[in-house]
Structure 1
Amino acid sequence: MVDMFKILDCTIRDGGYYTNWDFNKALVDQYIESMNKLPVDYLEIGYRSKPLQGYLGKYFYNPSYELLDLKSKSNKKLVVILNEKDVRVEHLDELLTPIKGIIDMVRIAIDPEHLGRAISLAEGIKKMGFEVGFNVMYMSKWNQYSNFMGDLKFVDGVADYFYMVDSYGGVFPKDVIETIGLVKSNTAVKLGFHGHNNLELALINSLTAVEHGVEIIDSTVWGMGRGAGNLKTELLLAVLNSKYGLSIDFNALGDAVSAFDDLLRKYEWGTNLPYMISGSNSLPQKDVMDWVTTRFYSFNSIIRALQNQKEKVKDNERLPLFEPQSKSKQILIIAGGKSASEHASAVLEFVKQNEDMTIIHASSKNAYSYKDIKNEQIFCLIGNEGRRMEKVFDDFGHFNGICVLPPYPRKMGTYVPELVYGRTFELPAIDFTSDFKDSHTALALQTALTLGAEKIYVIGYDGYQDVPISSKERTLTNENEALFAAFHDTSDVELYTLISSNYSILKEQSLYSLLD
């Protein structure tokens, strides 16, 4: 079996979903050096793309000088991939002529709905002398596309490899076998398989694919790849060594794995419960990856959102609108930073001296320190905040506030503690910003505006003063900074932080200067 199929390692391309296609040059050089000593046939170095909006790193564009440098160091066939949704035949000369003689294979990432369009693109690539690979996504849903099977017959002579891509990571070996039979009944092209690991079936699905005639398999070091990741190159090679006697330089393999250790610790890719749920139900991984890697949503919140997607519902709850009968000129927003607990005694004195001030808890993280105050309190419920509140208030015997949620529909779904259900409302709209409307900060600021705030104090927005900070913390910091800026641009209401903060847009007014 070992002699019958090839291995394509696509770590740099698929791993780029975590690094934004930036990799340290020393790491890439180590990767190339290690792969030179291993029985891997192709290395996919990333994308080639026309300019897109926003920053995307080196290995998304792969300038020719970089590919030439890698070619001089590698003894493998090198591969780039084009995203069919962004590339047309008229772009091929610009994208591919500079890399002729450097790149051996050009693959195309294809939505099955556009297979016919991709065939025209592939014809142009083939004429330029490249091997051509079709990476056709969503294999578990191919039978839902009416034109797909009819277009398969046109793949012969155009594609060198036709990949079945388990985009959702949810197929089983029997599904792999059935899909192979389906494709083989319509085309004679060589088949490939690209497995995602949501259900930890990437290895057995890949081996099953090979046993039933697939001739090329994708894998990545440490399984690094979008969402739950892919088949691990090191696992595949270890199995082929033990089961089929394939000769492996384990020192070289160890060097490749070690090179990516720091990235694994940083980004923590791999399967987890939300990825398992999305894989089991063929739900897209893009949202899950965002929720897991850059947001602080709980698994319960993510799974509720996935269930809503599965059932094709926008949300599971409509609530009464938040339309306060009285206004509050002074607002204090309490967020989740350390300062809100470290300075709690002073804050308590501050609100005691300002009984008409309304307290908005952007997060319930520090709510326990303030549960006995007499001021009106409003709690922002996003993601898992309802669960956190239940822990803070136990039986809600001390609860004297109300809760607000973002406008309907809410992507993360709705969870409201039963004991505060009758005191919970949703905002009609969040209109001071067009971004991050499902964030704690956006909800707190819009609630303050709805109350008619003329002056807003904040505490707990420290800006992560301990370094280094994680990628999640950096994302949240950038998000809050953008929301404060949008609020400043669209409102006459000033924001004052009561303690020193790394958010430069917040005006500083010492909490202690405001106390008698």
Structure 2
Amino acid sequence: MKLLDCTLRDGGYYTNWDFDPDLVQNYFESFNKLPIEYLEIGYRSNPMNSYLGEYFYCPPHVLEKCKESSNKKLVIILNEKDVRAEHVPQLLTPCKGYIDMVRIAIDPKNFKRALLLAEAVKKEGFQVGFNVMYMSNWADEKEFLAQIKNVDGIADYFYMVDSFGGVYPEDVRNTFNIVRDQTDVEIGFHGHNNLQMALINTLTAIECGVSIVDATVTGMGRGAGNLSTELLLTTLNSKGLIKDLDFNALSKVVDPFSEMQAEYGWGTNLPYMVSGAHSLPQKQVMEWVTKRYYSLNSIIRALSNQSRGIKDNKELKALDFNEVEKYPEAILIGGGPNAVVHAKGIKEFLLKNPNMVIIHASSKNARSYENLPNEQYFCLVGNEGHRLEQVFNYNKKINGKCILPPYPRKMGTYIPSALTDCAYELKNVDFTDKFEDSHTAIALQTAFELGVETIYFTGYDGYEGDAIDKKEQELFLENEYLFKNFKVKKPVSLVSITSSLYEGLEEDSVYSKIERK
């Protein structure tokens, strides 16, 4: 029974397939002393339309460096949906002399097509691994199940891949028996850890008689991640299946990845548990989890809608902007500190301009603007309904209207019970092709629909310094994109009246506005 570590390949979903050279060198040096047969170092891929790092393409210099550093059998993987048989010579010729096995990630719906790709790989002289995904849904793939026998003579390993992290030991046993009845090809298992079942499922697969199993250091991998290599090795050592495990080498490779885990946050959580339990895609959940304005409540609601096969849990009345009062100016309040720091001056500005509408892109600072005569709109995106409850002591009815993204909403719909009679949805967001359901997009569209010609901003401070994290950077770039598109398509001025790092906003001062007004 062989072990394969695929940290650099599966972990690349968190690092865009870029890894520090010193970390990679330490990885190889440590594994040289550990009882692992194969190391999967990344993908070989045709060019994509976005940045993906060196271990997504594994160019010749990477292959050469890996081979120099490692005494293990090296593996790369092809994503069948992006690669055809005619691409094989160009992709794999540079791998000869460096790579021992080529695995193929396969959607069972494309199994017949994957056989042609595998034949082309086999002709190039590589071992072939069939990584058939979505194991928890195989029962519904009757055509695929009837074709498993066709891997004979082509595949060296046939992998059961628990893509959603939702199978149980009995599922492993049943699936193993189905595959074994169809083919004599050696069987492998790749488990994800959404339900924290990766270890027991892997041990069950070993008991069934699989020939190879996968793991990654610290469980680093897409979404909730995988079985951790250190846990698997320690367990097999305790059972006497591995002798003389070098724990110093194991610790040496685990430590730097543990530091990375603290930064990137892989591992299971409630959304990943729900997605695993219902066999829902991890790619989307991983994107949601990393968005700072998508709360656990929002994500769970979205997953619940998906599991029940519905678009959204609630449809609202669209606000007819022809029937509401129009405003020449608006102040758009974000969640940044300046909206509170300068609240006194901003309120004085608003009191001098009672015909200026207030639009809260975030509810975070809404309490600072209570009891003003100005009309107020609250944008309820993601978790804002819950936040609004907390800001206004739950059951208090607010003075204003709540605006939600158009139906159906990606994250489902939550509206505080006290606000159901003043909650409406937009008919559309028509100035951008991305981020249509973000706080800023909803607030900008609302301002335009209200006839606003000048939007003043506060609480859109931006982020600076070395401490800016990935989520903050993504949100900053997202807002810049929205400002740019809005100014191109809408005849509205965008002006920040407190300090801001956003280049898409003109600059002014609330204090000069007070003097002028």
Band the TM-score falls in, shorter-chain normalisation: over 0.9
> 2: distance between equivalents of 1:133 and 1:28?
24
1:286 aligned onto 2:256? no
Q: Once the 2 structures are TM-superposed, how far is the Cα of residue 131 of structure 1 from its aligned partner? A: 0.4
1:258 aligned onto 2:277? no
Count of aligned pairs: 512
**Other-structure match for 2:485:** 486
- State the secondary structure of the residue aligned to 1:434: coil
> 1: distance between equivalents of 2:84 and 2:279?
29
**Other-structure match for 2:88:** 92
**Other-structure match for 1:20:** 16
> 2: distance between equivalents of 1:406 and 1:274?
22
Q: Once the 2 structures are TM-superposed, how far is the Cα of residue 16 of structure 1 from its aligned partner? A: 0.5
**Other-structure match for 1:424:** 423
**Other-structure match for 2:380:** 381
Counterpart residue type for residue 454 of structure 2:
K
> 2: distance between equivalents of 1:103 and 1:358?
64
Structure 2 gap segments, 5+ residues each: none
> 1: distance between equivalents of 2:394 and 2:167?
44
Q: Once the 2 structures are TM-superposed, how far is the Cα of residue 396 of structure 1 from its aligned partner? A: 5.1
**Other-structure match for 2:32:** 36
Q: Once the 2 structures are TM-superposed, how far is the Cα of residue 157 of structure 1 from its aligned partner? A: 1.0
Q: Once the 2 structures are TM-superposed, how far is the Cα of residue 254 of structure 1 from its aligned partner? A: 0.5
**Other-structure match for 2:69:** 73
* Contact 1:161/1:189, CA 8 A, preserved across alignment: yes
* Contact 1:31/1:259, CA 8 A, preserved across alignment: no
What whole-Å deviation, never above 9, does each CA across 1:288-318 have from its counterpart, x for those lacking one?
1011123321111101000100111001111
**Other-structure match for 1:299:** 296
| TM alignment of 1:50-61, pairs within 5 A | 50-61=46-57
> 2: distance between equivalents of 1:31 and 1:366?
46
Counterpart residue type for residue 317 of structure 1:
K
| TM alignment of 1:106-505, pairs within 5 A | 106-244=102-240, 245-324=242-321, 325-394=324-393, 397=396, 399-505=398-504
Counterpart residue type for residue 298 of structure 1:
S
Counterpart residue type for residue 298 of structure 2:
S
Structure 1 gap segments, 5+ residues each: none
Q: Once the 2 structures are TM-superposed, how far is the Cα of residue 154 of structure 1 from its aligned partner? A: 0.7
> 1: distance between equivalents of 2:394 and 2:238?
57
Counterpart residue type for residue 118 of structure 2:
A
Say if 1:26 and 1:395 are closer, same or farther in 2 by CA, change over 3 A: closer
- State the secondary structure of the residue aligned to 2:248: helix
Q: Once the 2 structures are TM-superposed, how far is the Cα of residue 7 of structure 1 from its aligned partner? A: 0.6
* Contact 2:164/2:275, CA 8 A, preserved across alignment: yes
> 2: distance between equivalents of 1:55 and 1:109?
21
> 2: distance between equivalents of 1:296 and 1:455?
26
Q: Which stretch of structure 1 is more off in the superposition, 242-251 or 503-512? A: 242-251
Counterpart residue type for residue 40 of structure 1:
I
> 2: distance between equivalents of 1:241 and 1:306?
38
Q: Once the 2 structures are TM-superposed, how far is the Cα of residue 394 of structure 1 from its aligned partner? A: 1.5
> 2: distance between equivalents of 1:141 and 1:375?
54
* Contact 2:338/2:499, CA 8 A, preserved across alignment: no
* Contact 2:80/2:114, CA 8 A, preserved across alignment: yes
* Contact 1:30/1:259, CA 8 A, preserved across alignment: no
Counterpart residue type for residue 109 of structure 1:
A
Q: Once the 2 structures are TM-superposed, how far is the Cα of residue 398 of structure 1 from its aligned partner? A: 6.2
Counterpart residue type for residue 257 of structure 1:
V
* Contact 2:388/2:394, CA 8 A, preserved across alignment: no
* Contact 2:396/2:418, CA 8 A, preserved across alignment: no
What whole-Å deviation, never above 9, does each CA across 1:476-504 have from its counterpart, x for those lacking one?
11111111111111112110011221111
> 2: distance between equivalents of 1:500 and 1:159?
62
> 1: distance between equivalents of 2:398 and 2:311?
30
- State the secondary structure of the residue aligned to 2:457: strand
* Contact 2:395/2:417, CA 8 A, preserved across alignment: no
> 1: distance between equivalents of 2:170 and 2:68?
42
TM-score, normalising length from structure 1? 0.98
CA RMSD after TM alignment: 1.0
Taking only the aligned residue pairs, the percentage that are identical comes to: 58
- State the secondary structure of the residue aligned to 1:413: coil
What whole-Å deviation, never above 9, does each CA across 1:190-227 have from its counterpart, x for those lacking one?
00000000011100100100110111010000000000
* Contact 1:122/1:132, CA 8 A, preserved across alignment: yes
